[in-house]
Structure 1
């Protein structure tokens, strides 16, 4: 599975109140707040006569505010995969995929054209039977956000990932969001990965969501590969819990 599909399994909220998109937030959840994001995603990749389908059934991301400006994160993806060749199923499995554990910390707030910025670092823990420290993966990204108007915002990430098989790639995500109202929001997003010599893949994602309350939201999105054959559709339900009240 490519780096892009890994990124897709970690949909995250843009701010405390809700938005559930692939872009990573530039601000942490508040102190003593637990944010739970339950996501299901169906993706199809094709190359020549080979097709890979992947379905998260579902995956969960947990974010907890240690103090204002810092949070810890745990991502636990459950994946069903099927590999097809010449329209014949050659491989199928359900698996508890590699776990991601890490943190995000705010670096500074937005000021004029200076974007709000955070640093996110995660370790990728392999879940196979031959666990070795040398197989640990890593994700590091700098996450930015600019408020254009009261309704429009630009959110963007730039990062680098080392997979558990030692595959390495940089990645970017650029997200333009529009708040139609306090309840309804829409977004358009471009994301991709690259190495030292070329842009490996880039994709377009559009979607929107509804905020049932300040503590619950649902988002849907659909994406298509621009320079390669990738399609996905997904949804995510986000819950926010103030642990001090429980």
Structure 2
């Protein structure tokens, strides 16, 4: 899975008015809410003699509650990349990466051991000059959440990605979140992607967030690859607007 797909799907803290996202949430945002998530990630990945630096500057995710239990989504990634080989710069570029357009829909509420659940489906539209319908991809994710106590929740996603280069893989995210108080929350998660043959990447991630208000949240996180040489750090600014009042 491309870096932007790996880390665009990375813990959700669910509040009554706003979702500060880092795993896809198990419930949609409220009707008539426009939620804007600006995410910037700096990633370093090493493979043999090659070193890749990637920076989203930033990427934007727009969510709109069209109906109760149904939201529209648009993700527009902007990426800066640098590739070194044997300590020599091979290429450096800024690019408008593949656009993701789709929706999320509530499936059912939590009941005892049965988790709250939603389904997310996005189409991946390539932005290169050689656009072809056959290169359109998709992401499908089932998103679940169990409330363990008043302060702890367990959030998890399992999904499938068909990329624009026709490669296919699955992904998972398992997250424990802790709400220390009405302002501060923490999370610890494990995420990765896989094919039928192997586990491609396995990563550990941790972070903290602060609620400046009911509709403005900032989250910071760091991650380390477990089975590959990767490190990233980043943050998300989440802002929710009630369009009914405007």
* TM-score category of the 2 structures, normalised to the smaller one: over 0.9
1:103 to partner: Cα distance: 0.3
Pairs within 5 Å for 1:16-165? 16=15, 17-18=17-18, 20-165=20-165
1:40 to partner: Cα distance: 0.6
- RMSD of aligned C-alpha atoms? 1.3
Please tell me whether the aligned partners of residues 4 and 192 of structure 1 are also in contact (alpha carbons under 8 angstroms): no
Match of 2:196 in 1: 196
How many residues in Structure 1 have an aligned counterpart in Structure 2? 245
Which structure 1 residue ranges, 5 or more long, are not aligned?
none
Match of 2:184 in 1: 184
Structure 1 runs, 4 residues or longer, greater than 2 Å off: 2-5, 9-22
1:89 to partner: Cα distance: 0.6
Distance 1:9 1:97 in 2: 12
Q: Secondary structure at the match of 1:131?
A: coil
Match of 2:245 in 1: 245
1:7 aligns with 2:6: yes
Q: Secondary structure at the match of 2:14?
A: coil
The CA deviation string for residues 123-180 of structure 1, in whole angstroms up to 9 with x for no partner, is: 0000001111100010001000000000000000000001100111000000100000
- TM-score (normalised: structure 2): 0.96
Please tell me whether the aligned partners of residues 107 and 117 of structure 2 are also in contact (alpha carbons under 8 angstroms): yes
1:20 to partner: Cα distance: 3.3
Distance 2:11 2:78 in 1: 17
